[in-house]
Amino acid sequence: MRPEGYEYLLVVPLLIGSSLLAFDLRAQDRTAPEALDVSTTFTLDQLAARVATNRVVFIGETHNRYDHHLNQLELIKRLHQADPQLVIGVEYLQQPFQQPVDDYIAGRINEAEFLRATEYFQRWGYDYRLYAPIFRYAREQRIPVRALNVPAALSSAVAKVGIRGLSEQQRAYLPKQIDPADESYKGRLRKAFEAHGAQRPGDFDHFLEAQLVWDEGMAEAASTYLNGHPEARMVILAGSGHLEFGSGIPQRLQRRTNATTAIVINSDDEIAVPHVGDYVLFSKKEELPPAGVLGVRLEERGGKCLIRSVERGSAAAKAGLKKGEVIADMDGQTVSKIADTRLALWDKKPGDRVRVGVRQEHGSSASRTSLLEIELAAPAKERP
């Protein structure tokens, strides 16, 4: 549910006409100044009506912006009301996990089983509370959700060794066609790449290939579904960097489907950048409510989840947890990975209580597991 007092600030149309790549990218001695008319604004209902005529609507996001995901949900609700054949495609889930996604939407498994089966916390990791309202609405309305992303192992391998260095097994999820990046997109990627500091020669080429595999893989997965379901319309939710200026997923999907598309970008800025998309959505920044936390840093070692440090004054410190102890279970669920603790705690609030099984390791032997009931606290920066 949208937080009380939440409101949209501005929806601005950015392109006139149907061509997403209409403005001239040819090199010039001096880029001509451009004027952007921001006097025409309209409501979310009007935006939904405008984009609903397209077969594919892309909605970009900054992954950790709660308001961006609330905006996505509101647009999805309106588009689904306009066309019950709507399908949601997401960047956050990877293609090999389509079956558990289907099972969750159909009601065959619960949310915890869905998160575990899709390895959400290992492979995506952003606070699931950002996305839960979208997935829950899709389940409630039985809206199909498509896992569009390529396996993380594939993009990581390409980033390390390039496409030519992949094994035959690694190529199983490689998109059949990978077009080069346009110079504008390449420039934006280079800026992001160089922000991470000095790299070895050739690393950027591999980084660029990994991004193209990511974009082409998502476009291929979406187009395969759309081509096989001619009655369907699709909303695609992805990071804005994959959508801006049409350079990432959009032009690669159009190449495969010739579908009509619209791009809505949730803005991080106070100004609209010309041609970044068809529409830019401005909203007040909203924060998730404080989460309930233990206040420990963890590490995985030998199939166990060890406490690396305990934050002073935290819930864990008050309960007597100590560095070096092993977290064996939470609320009856076995813990062997950090992701297991995130699964157990993701929906907990400050004041909620959780049963934690801990034991102290002593060389090759282990002490008996002690079961503690711990009252979770807010993160340190959010405590009064």
Classify residue 161 by burial, with Cβ atoms within 10 Å: 0-12, 13-18, 19+: middle
DSSP E strands: which ranges in 22-136?
A: 56-61, 86-94
d(CA 177, CA 173): 12
* pLDDT of the residue at 198: 60
Transcribe 55-76 into DSSP letters: SEEEEEE-TT-HHHHHHHHHHH
* pLDDT of the residue at 12: 59
> Letter for the amino acid at 276?
V
**pLDDT tens track for 45-68:** 999 999 999 999 999 999 999 999
The conformation of residue 380, written as its DSSP 8-state character, comes to G
Q: Which residues contact 132 (CB under 8 A, 6 or more apart)?
A: 111, 347
d(CA 288, CA 286): 7
* pLDDT of the residue at 183: 94
Side-chain half-sphere of 383: how many Cα atoms within 13 Å?
A: 14
User: Which residues of the chain fall below pLDDT 70?
Assistant: 1-31, 198, 201, 270, 362-366, 382-384
* Residue linked to tokens 């007597």: 320
* pLDDT of the residue at 22: 31
Q: Mind listing the domains of the chain with CATH numbers?
A: 8-21+36-283 (3.40.50.11550), 296-382 (2.30.42.10)
